[in-house]
Structure 1
Amino acid sequence: MGAEEPWLATVQRLKQLFIKGVCRVEQRSLAEQLKTLLSGIAAPACPASMEESPTSPFQWIAAKPLLALRQRVATDNEAVAAILATAVGIRSPWLSIIAARVKEASGLKASEVLVQLVTQLGEAASWVEASLPGAKLAATPWGDLERQLLGSVAELAPATPVLCRVLSAAAWLKSFQSNPLTALKPVDPTGLRPDINWCRGRLLGLPQADDGNALRGGPMLNQMIAGDFLLTGVIENKGAIQETHEMGALAWVLANPWAFLLTCLIYAQDSWAAEQQGGILLELPGGQNPFFPTRIQLLVVDKDENEVLCGTLAGLIVRFLESRSIYLFPAAPTVDELDTLMRPVVQALLTHRVWRYYDGLSEEQGYYRIDPDFADLCYRRLGSRIFQRYGRTIWQEFRPLAEAWQREKSGVGMNERTLTLIRGGVL
């Protein structure tokens, strides 16, 4: 076996982290190599049971640094190359080549090329500086690897800007590798243990309607996510646990992570309203279809009945996910994009009679609340187990987040300097 072959095998596993969010390895030698590369940037998977077989696969789940890495480079291939470049054996020949390019640029009359190179290198500039004594434009042992990931062998000029991005990203990644991440438990596919499913470090797929295509292809393959280590974004029309008359729509809610998340919000809204100490309003701006809204306004009401428009439904969801260190996969959309993506979720919640839409009174906007029949389900045996035992900390988190948002929008708690800047029109 050539020196390059183990690295080529590693490439295929690393690509899966950006496509599926999870990579699986059966060979222990390959697993050891990945363990070093992925320390601090991907979470190891807990075994499904305590009696793990020696032949059980090793698995890793993409974590925040890997999702951020993908935004720093142009392609999945460059992201994989950056991970490999954290290994000194891969990195050293590439640094020698870039050091040679820097020497070339420093000999030119125009300084723009040198400035551009150093700027592209970013945090890797110190690595290149240390490699200047051994600078050389020569072929490396990683020709096939380079053609696959960089588009050409590293010593050729077209690879230079790509290699600079890769080395810069690798230098940034190195700071995470000394702090291994906590192992992540598998998702409970029935949804009966939301405390396990909505833990720190979990990935949540972007919401998408189940039009039949999600099961056939694409990056969000449902059967690879539901019941594994990622929360699926597909909105299915059936529950993973048997639906009975007593359970009603609750079975469907538990089987669909996005439905559960928005149900927790509407449950928190109902619980807060019962105290008559303020609350959350979910209002629909005029001109929209309530069953397929592009944007739902979120207002927070204080105990004195003062309403503050804080933003949109997606804005609060983003705050919730950030507070629990749960990350949208494969990448975080803008708030406006997420509002649009959540349209099929809202439609499904209304169809399954979990949410209910109410028309506003004269010149008032329509609004969403929990469906009264579903609210009753939440206080029966299974509903109480979910919302008062395993999921209590989840729905309760929406209230302090909404209150903090309301204070931000109202200027409450701002220091005097910030208020002065705002009043003076500086901000």
Structure 2
Amino acid sequence: MDRRTSASSLLALEAAQGFCQQLGALWFNGGLEANKAASLLTATPLLKKLLQPIAGSDSEIEVSAYCLSTPLLNAYSELSQLGEWQLALLGLNPEVREHWLNLAAARCREAGAMSAPQVLVKLIQQLGNASGWVLAELENTAVTPQIIAGPLAQLERDLLGHSLNENAAIPALCRILRACFMLYNLSEQAEALAPIQPVDVTTKQLANNWCRGRLLALPESLLNEYNLKGAINPNTDWLLVPHPASGAKNTNIQLMGLLAEQPWLFLLSLLSFVQDAWAAEQRGGLLLTLPAGQNAFAPSQVNVAVQGIDGDEVSLGSLATFLVQLLSELNIALYPVRTNSPENIQRLNRALIPLIAELLLKKIWQFTEVGCGEPSHYRIHPDFSDACYSLPLAPLFGYKSQHLQQAIKQLAQTSYANARSVSAANRINR
């Protein structure tokens, strides 16, 4: 099936509805089995460059599934609802997109005829880089732009509440075309992503779990906020997903299972391990501090700072801010939505509260109240620190997580150096 034939088939309402249903399943599970994704990739070949393949466990099966990727998650964050995201991916097909470009061109021509030029300016701003597509449509003398319902008007109403030719849909039309243009450009320029391994909850292949291209589900309490209808169900074979907390006592073997099943607890325990190892070098270090007046077991925000060799400190912001930056450096995307807006960072900070309480209760972290004007702080619990250098935890906090440890320290050191450079430049400018 060539591109033109596949595009034409998607213009049929039933085919487009099936396409969007598969996209919905992709979104709610974080991925699709390869055989279920096949129809998406046949209809829209560009999608293959935007999806993260999961390697097959059988050597004869090259790819067993396809997962969401950072560009697809970023596109969702730029849109107002799932329906817009589905249509933006549907629009990667040029013949499907053609009618929407015709609508946008007609809207621009309509706005250009008005006495208020700011209307056209605002419309172009809303279209973003997709305005280049719309300009080409306006320059095409063989086509007269018209504001009419298209062949997928019913699908548009089902997904958005109105068809894209209606006045109320103008902002959605612009957002969809803007997101579609961004994804189209990325898919045209990029190579297909290399397959990554399925998730292994035994910790035997930990490095494969925390690899580039992986999705990390939000902490359980925050994931539930995005899951009010119970539809989001991230696949545990492909995504790093928090499992229900076990009531195990604090023995090393039970801790192994806990850290394997709770990726956020493992990441936070590794952060304190790096902090402890760095402090042992006596060449500066990482600080996890608690503002005065807060409950150590329920902090609204833990702050992260780097201390230089001479004792000077540079703030790196909240714990959530640091973790989001770390995951970005590792090219591990948060599912189902990115959290780099101030509001979502605060939500993530709140979602970390029960995890911090569990770290303290299981004696993985320890809280020290300093007083005398000095901020209280969290560090690794001495018992857990000793356990990290003994079997069975030693490999987990040794060679299996070395790349994660290096990423934590490098991010802290780079942020510290950048802050010092900015401070020095400001002093010179004064």
Q: Does TM-score exceed 0.5, indicating one fold?
A: yes
- The answer for the alignment partner of 2:230 in structure 1 is 218
- The answer for the alignment partner of 1:199 in structure 2 is 211
Matched residue type, 2:182: W
- In the TM superposition, 1:316-355 aligns within 5 A as 316-333=322-339, 334=342, 335-355=345-365
Q: Is the 8 A contact 1:151 1:159 kept in 2?
A: no
Could you say what secondary structure the match of 1:280 adopts? strand
**Would you say 1:390 and 2:396 are equivalent positions?**
no
Could you say what secondary structure the match of 1:183 adopts? coil
Cα distance in 2, alignment partners of residues 277 and 212 from structure 1: 41
- The answer for the alignment partner of 1:297 in structure 2 is 303
Q: Is the 8 A contact 2:51 2:67 kept in 1?
A: yes
Cα distance in 1, alignment partners of residues 37 and 76 from structure 2: 27
> What displacement does 1:420 show?
4.1
**Residue 115 of structure 1: which of 121, 131, 142 is its match?**
121
**Residue 263 of structure 1: which of 269, 287, 305 is its match?**
269
Question: Are residues 177 and 210 of structure 1, via their aligned partners in 2, closer, same or farther at CA, if it must alter by over 3 Å?
Answer: closer
Question: Are residues 347 and 82 of structure 1, via their aligned partners in 2, closer, same or farther at CA, if it must alter by over 3 Å?
Answer: same
**Would you say 1:208 and 2:217 are equivalent positions?**
no
Could you say what secondary structure the match of 1:50 adopts? coil
Cα distance in 2, alignment partners of residues 215 and 152 from structure 1: 25
Matched residue type, 1:204: L
Matched residue type, 2:93: A
**Residue 379 of structure 2: which of 353, 366, 369 is its match?**
369
Mean Cα deviation higher: 30-39 or 256-265: 30-39
**Would you say 1:30 and 2:36 are equivalent positions?**
no
Q: Is the 8 A contact 1:356 1:369 kept in 2?
A: yes
Q: Is the 8 A contact 2:221 2:351 kept in 1?
A: no
Matched residue type, 1:11: C
Matched residue type, 2:200: D
Q: Is the 8 A contact 1:205 1:220 kept in 2?
A: no
- The answer for the alignment partner of 1:356 in structure 2 is 366
Cα distance in 1, alignment partners of residues 98 and 72 from structure 2: 22
Q: Is the 8 A contact 1:44 1:183 kept in 2?
A: yes
- In the TM superposition, 1:398-413 aligns within 5 A as 398-409=408-419, 411-412=420-421
Q: Is the 8 A contact 1:37 1:83 kept in 2?
A: no
> What displacement does 1:359 show?
2.6
The CA deviation string for residues 86-120 of structure 1, in whole angstroms up to 9 with x for no partner, is 21110112222332333333333333433333232
- The answer for the alignment partner of 2:55 in structure 1 is 46
Cα distance in 2, alignment partners of residues 420 and 252 from structure 1: 51
Cα distance in 1, alignment partners of residues 199 and 15 from structure 2: 31
Cα distance in 2, alignment partners of residues 386 and 258 from structure 1: 15
Cα distance in 2, alignment partners of residues 107 and 211 from structure 1: 47
The CA deviation string for residues 332-376 of structure 1, in whole angstroms up to 9 with x for no partner, is 333433222211111111111111122325544332221222222
> What displacement does 1:194 show?
2.1
Query: What CA RMSD, in Å, does the superposition of the two structures yield over aligned residues?
Result: 3.0
Cα distance in 2, alignment partners of residues 369 and 309 from structure 1: 17
Matched residue type, 1:388: G
Q: Is the 8 A contact 2:303 2:318 kept in 1?
A: yes
Give the share of equivalent positions with the same residue, in percent.
Answer: 31
State how many pairs are aligned.
411
Q: Is the 8 A contact 1:209 1:234 kept in 2?
A: no
- The answer for the alignment partner of 2:3 in structure 1 is none
**Would you say 1:288 and 2:298 are equivalent positions?**
no
Which structure dedicates a bigger proportion of its chain to helix? 2
- The answer for the alignment partner of 1:104 in structure 2 is 110
Cα distance in 1, alignment partners of residues 399 and 38 from structure 2: 42
Question: Are residues 37 and 14 of structure 1, via their aligned partners in 2, closer, same or farther at CA, if it must alter by over 3 Å?
Answer: farther
Cα distance in 2, alignment partners of residues 385 and 122 from structure 1: 49
Could you say what secondary structure the match of 1:391 adopts? helix
Cα distance in 2, alignment partners of residues 270 and 354 from structure 1: 12
Question: Are residues 414 and 143 of structure 1, via their aligned partners in 2, closer, same or farther at CA, if it must alter by over 3 Å?
Answer: same
Matched residue type, 1:197: N
Cα distance in 2, alignment partners of residues 206 and 278 from structure 1: 31
Question: Are residues 111 and 414 of structure 1, via their aligned partners in 2, closer, same or farther at CA, if it must alter by over 3 Å?
Answer: same
> What displacement does 1:280 show?
1.7
The CA deviation string for residues 213-259 of structure 1, in whole angstroms up to 9 with x for no partner, is 999963553xx433x211114562258xxx99552423212221000
Runs of 5+ unmatched residues, structure 1 = none
Question: Are residues 310 and 115 of structure 1, via their aligned partners in 2, closer, same or farther at CA, if it must alter by over 3 Å?
Answer: closer
Matched residue type, 2:327: L
Matched residue type, 2:25: Q
Cα distance in 1, alignment partners of residues 322 and 306 from structure 2: 11
Cα distance in 1, alignment partners of residues 92 and 228 from structure 2: 35
Cα distance in 2, alignment partners of residues 176 and 153 from structure 1: 27
Matched residue type, 2:354: P
Could you say what secondary structure the match of 2:128 adopts? helix
Matched residue type, 1:196: N
> What displacement does 1:290 show?
0.9
Mean Cα deviation higher: 104-113 or 261-270: 104-113
Cα distance in 1, alignment partners of residues 223 and 168 from structure 2: 42
Q: Is the 8 A contact 2:37 2:66 kept in 1?
A: no
Could you say what secondary structure the match of 2:102 adopts? helix
Cα distance in 2, alignment partners of residues 220 and 153 from structure 1: 26
Question: Are residues 88 and 35 of structure 1, via their aligned partners in 2, closer, same or farther at CA, if it must alter by over 3 Å?
Answer: closer
Cα distance in 2, alignment partners of residues 312 and 272 from structure 1: 20
Q: Is the 8 A contact 1:220 1:232 kept in 2?
A: no
Cα distance in 1, alignment partners of residues 324 and 225 from structure 2: 27
Runs of 5+ unmatched residues, structure 2 = 1-8
Q: Is the 8 A contact 2:197 2:208 kept in 1?
A: yes
Q: Is the 8 A contact 2:164 2:172 kept in 1?
A: no
Could you say what secondary structure the match of 1:172 adopts? helix
